[in-house]
Chains A and B, each alone.
Chain A
Amino acid sequence: METALILTGLGSVFFASAPIVFAVIGETIAERAGVINLSINGMILLSAMGGFVVSFQTGSLFAGFLTGALIGALVAFIVAFSSITLKQSQVAVGFVLALTCRDLAYFLGNDYMGKGGPRLPAWDLPVLSDIPIVGPIFFHQDLITYISFLMIFLSWLWIFRTRPGLMLQGIGERPASAYVRGANVNLMRYAYTVLGGAIAGLAGPAYSLSVKAGWNGTISGLDGFGWIALAITIFGGWNPLRGAFGAYLFGLLQWLGLVLQPSLPNVPSQVLQVAPFPLMILTLFLVNIGSTEWVERTLAAMPESSRRFLTRALRALRASPPASLGVPFERE
C-alpha cells in the first residue's frame, strides 16, 4: 500500500515536471546556438493562456498545443530578429518581452479565468504500464508527458550524436570557425532560436491543458516557472540530460513541499511557494563558485590532500556556457 502510494507520487513528479522540461530543453537548444531567450517566463504564461483559450473555443486539444508552440516560436523570433538582425541587447529585449507577454496573458485571459475546459486524458501505455515499479512511475501518464520524455532523448541525440548537432555546438562555441566550415551562422541561430522557442512554448499548454487544467490569471501558479527553467538550463550545463535531471529534481522538491506542508502549519503557503527561488540561487552558487577567482586562489593555497578533494567536487558541479553565448556574430 505504502509503496503504491510512493510510486504514484513519483509518477506525478514526472507528470508535473513536463512543462519545465519543455522550457529547459527549448532554452538549452537556443543557448547552444548562442542566443539567450530571456523572455520565456512571460512567453510560457502567454502560451498557457493562448493554448487553453484556443482549445476551449475549438474543442481541439491539438489546436491548443499548436497555439502554444506557435506563440513560443513567434516570441523567440522577435528575440532573434532584434538581436541577430538589429544587434540589440538580447537581455534587454528578452526581459521586456518577459514582462510584456506576462501582462498580455493576464489581459487577454481575463474573460477565461476559472473556466472549466478541455484536459488531456491519461493514457496508460499498453504492456509497458504493467511492468512493476517502472510502469506506475513512467507509463501511467498522458501523451504530452510521453512527448516530454522523448524530447529529452531526441534533443540529446541531436546535439551530441549527429553532424548538424556538432555544427549547432560550433555556432555557439566558435561561430567564426563554423562559418569557415560553411555554416550560415546567423540563419542557423535564427532557426534554432525559433525551434527552441516552439519547444519551450509547449510548456504553457502542457500546464494549462494537462498539469493544472484551466487559466487562473495571477493565481495560476505558473509565474516564475520560466526563470527557474533558465536557471536549470545553467545547472544542466547546456546538456538536455543533465537539464532534465535538474527539472525532475526541482519537481521532486516541489512535491515534497506539498507533502510536508500539512506538518508545517505555521508556515503560510505563500512562503513555501517561493522556496524554489533561494534554492535556485544556491544551485547557481554551487555551479559557479568553482570558477571565481578568489576560490581558485584559496584552493591554490590549501594543502594538497584537501585541495584535490575540493577541486574535484567543484569541478563535478561546474558548468561552463557555450563560449559565444550572447555574443553577436559578424563577418569580418
Chain B
Amino acid sequence: MKHTTLNRIGFQLFALLLAFGIASLVLLAVGASPVQIYKDMFGSLGTKGKIADVLVSWAPLLLATAGLLITFAAGLWNIGVEGQITFGAIGTTLVLRLLQNSAMNAGFIIALSIFAGMLAGALWAALAGALKTFGGVNEIFGGLGLNFVATALTIYLVFGPWKRPGTGSMSGTQPFPEQFNLPLFEGLRLSPWALVVAVVGIVFVYFLLQGTYFGLRLKAVGKNFRAAYLLGIPTWQYMMFSFLLCGALSGAAGALQVTAVYHRLIPSISSGYGYLGLMVAMLVNYQAIAAIPVAFFFAALNIGSIQLPIVHKLDSSFSGVLQGLLVLFILLAEGARQRLTPKA
C-alpha cells in the first residue's frame, strides 16, 4: 500500500518535471528566459494584495470545480459549466437590476440575487441535462453549444437592453451602486463572503460524495450505468439532479463574479473558470479536498501570467499552456504507472 503511494508520487513528480520542461522549451521558442519568467510569475505573488487577488480567482474556480466533481461522479462530461457560470451571472444581474430601486434591504437583495444566480445556473445545466436525457445529445456537444449561446446572450444584453446610458461597450453594463456589492477586506479586492461561499461549496460536495447514500448511488451510476439501472437506481433522475447541483454551484460562481468582483455584467464574465475547473478536477483525480490547493495553484498561475504582456510582451495564455501540460502529463504518468508497475 505504502509502496503504491510512493510509486505514484514518483511518477507525478516526473510528470511535473516534464510539464515544466516542455513549457520552458515553449518559452525558449519565443526567445524568453524560462528562469526569468517563472521568477516573475511566482515572485509577483509575494505581496498581501497579490495573494488576495489569487483568492479572488480561487473562489469561483473552486466552486466550478466543486460542481464538476458531482457531474464527474455521475460519469458526465459537463463541459457546459462555462455557460452555467455565465448564465448564473446573468440571473444575478437581472435580479439586481429589477430590485435596485426597491425599498428592500440591500443585503437581502444581494442574497436574493446570488440565489437567483444559482437558480439560473441550474436552469442552464438542466437544459444540457434534458438534451442528454431526452434528446440523446451528448453532454459535451450540448454543453459546448450552450456555452457559446450564453456568451452571445451576454453580449446581446450588454449591447442591447442592458447597455449603459449612451452607447453599449465591451466594458459591460452600468456598475451597480456600492450598497449592492459584497463587502471587501480593507484595502483589498477580496470579499470574505466569496471565500465563505467557496469553502461551503467544496465542503458540501465532499460530504455529499463521501458520506451520503446519494453520493454512493451517484457514483454507481457513473461507474456502471447499466448495473445501477438494474439495481433499481433511478438513473436518469440521478444524472439530471447532478446536472442541477453542478449548475447551482457554477451559478454561484457567476453570482460572485457579479456581486464580489466586477459589480456589473461583462461579456467575458465567466473568465474561463469553467474550462479551468475541468482541468483542476482531472488533475486531482476527482478528489474534493485536493481541489482546494490545486485550484489555488492554478489561480496563482493565472494571476502571475497577467504580468507577462506588460513586462515581457508575451501573451498571458502561457498560464493556460502550463496548466494544460501539467494535466496532460499527470494523466499520462498515471497511465504509464499502471502499465509499468507489475501487478501484485
A207 to chain B, nearest CB (A): 19
Instruction: Specify which of A89, A100, A285 is in contact with B137 (CB 8 Å cutoff).
Output: A285
Which of B190-198, B249-257, B322-330 sits within the interface? Answer: B322-330
- Among A104, A110, A280, the residue within 8 A (CB) of B145 is A280
| Pair B135/A96 contact, Cβ less than 8 Å | no
A157 part of interface (Cβ distance < 8 Å): no
Tell me whether B140 is interfacial, beta carbon within 8 Å. yes
The complex places the Cα of A297 from the Cα of B282 at a distance, in Å, of 38
Q: Closest residue of chain B to A230, judged by CB?
A: B141
User: By the criterion CB–CB under 8 Å, are A271 and B156 in contact?
Assistant: yes
Contact for B156 among A88, A217, A268, CB less than 8 A: A268
State whether the Cβ of B10 lies closer than 8 Å to any Cβ in chain A.
Answer: no
| A111 interface residue per 8 A CB criterion | yes
On whether A87 and B134 interact (CB within 8 A), knowing A104-B26, A108-B29, A274-B148, the answer reads no
* Contact string against B for A residues 252-290, beta-carbon threshold 8 Å, 1 for contact and 0 otherwise: 000000000000001110110110011011001100110
Which A residues, 22 to 52, have Cβ-Cβ distances below 8 Å to chain B?
38
Binds A, one of B56-64, B199-207, B210-218, B331-339: B331-339
Contacts of A316 in B (CB 8 A): none
CB <8 Å contact, B77 and A91 = yes
Query: Are B26 and A274 touching (Cβ within 8 A)?
Result: no
Quick check: is B294 within 8 A (CB to CB) of the other chain?
no
Residues B145 and A281 in contact, CB atoms below 8 Å apart? yes
Beta-carbon contacts of A65-79 to B below 8 Å, as 1s and 0s? 000000000000010
> How many positions in chain A have a CB within 8 Å of any CB in the partner chain?
48
Q: Which of the residues A87, A92, A267 comes within 8 Å of B339, measured between beta carbons? A: A87
Contact count A vs B, C-beta below 8 Å: 134
Asked whether any CB of chain A lies closer than 8 Å to the CB of B261, the reply is no
Residues of A within 8 A of B26 (CB): 104, 107-108
Report if B30 contacts A (CB, 8 A).
yes
A97 touches B328 (CB 8 A): yes
Contact B321 A274 (CB under 8 A): no
- Complex: how many Å from CA A82 to CA B318? 24
Q: Is the interface of A mostly helix, strand, loop or mixed?
A: helix
Q: Distance (Å) between the CB of B120 and the closest chain A CB?
A: 18
CA distance A289 to B339 in the complex (A): 40
In the complex the two chains form, is B324's CB within 8 Å of A285's CB?
no
A173 at interface by CB-CB < 8 Å: no
List the B side residues contacting A289 at CB < 8 Å. 135-136
How would residues 93 to 113 of chain A score, 1 for a CB under 8 Å from any chain B CB and 0 otherwise?
101110110111011101100
Does residue B20 face the partner (Cβ distance < 8 Å to A)?
no
Partner of A82, one of B79, B317, B321, B332: B332
Closest chain A residue, CB of each to CB of B159: A268
Check B145 against A99 for contact (C-beta < 8 Å): no
* B325/A107 in contact, CB under 8 A: no
Query: In the bound complex, do residue B335 and residue A88 qualify as a contact, i.e. CB atoms below 8 Å apart?
Result: yes
Tell whether, in the assembled complex, residue A274 and residue B152 are in contact, meaning their CB atoms are under 8 Å apart: yes
| A271 and B152 contact, CB distance less than 8 A | yes
State whether A268 and B155 are in contact (beta carbons under 8 Å apart), knowing that A110-B314, A285-B131 are contacts in the complex: yes
Q: Is B17 an interface residue (CB 8 A)?
A: no
- Residue on B with the closest CB to A113? B315
Is the CB–CB distance between A284 and B279 below 8 Å? no
The 8 Å CB contact of B149, one of A85, A217, A268, A278, is A278
Q: Specify the chain A residue showing the minimal Cβ separation from B335.
A: A86
B71 interface residue (CB < 8 Å to A): no
Assess whether B149 is in contact with A88, with CB atoms less than 8 Å apart: no
Which listed residue (A82, A97, A107, A277) contacts B148, Cβ 8 A?
Answer: A277
Q: Which residues of A contact B321 (CB under 8 A)?
A: 100, 103-104, 107
**A234 neighbours in B (Cβ, 8 Å):** 141
Q: B43 within 8 Å of A by Cβ? A: no
Q: Is B328 touching A93 in the complex (CB atoms < 8 A)?
A: yes
Q: Is B89 an interface residue, CB under 8 A from the partner?
A: no
CB atoms of B151 and A274 under 8 A apart:
yes
Within the complex, the shortest CB–CB distance from B207 to chain A, in Å, comes to 26
Contacts of B315 in A (CB 8 A): 106-107, 110, 217
Tell yes or no: B287 within 8 A of A by CB. Answer: no
**CB within 8 Å of A: which B103-162 residues:** 131, 134-138, 140-142, 144-146, 148-149, 151-152, 155-156, 159-160
11 CB-based A-B contacts, threshold 8 Å: A78-B328, A85-B339, A99-B324, A104-B321, A107-B26, A108-B30, A268-B155, A271-B156, A274-B148, A274-B149, A277-B144
Spell out B's residues near A (CB within 8 Å).
26, 29-30, 77, 79, 131, 134-138, 140-142, 144-146, 148-149, 151-152, 155-156, 159-160, 275, 278-279, 282, 314-315, 317-321, 324-325, 327-328, 331-332, 334-336, 338-339
Given A281-B141, A292-B134, list of 15 further CB < 8 A pairs? A82-B335, A85-B335, A86-B338, A87-B335, A92-B331, A93-B331, A96-B282, A99-B324, A102-B320, A103-B318, A103-B324, A110-B314, A266-B160, A277-B145, A288-B135
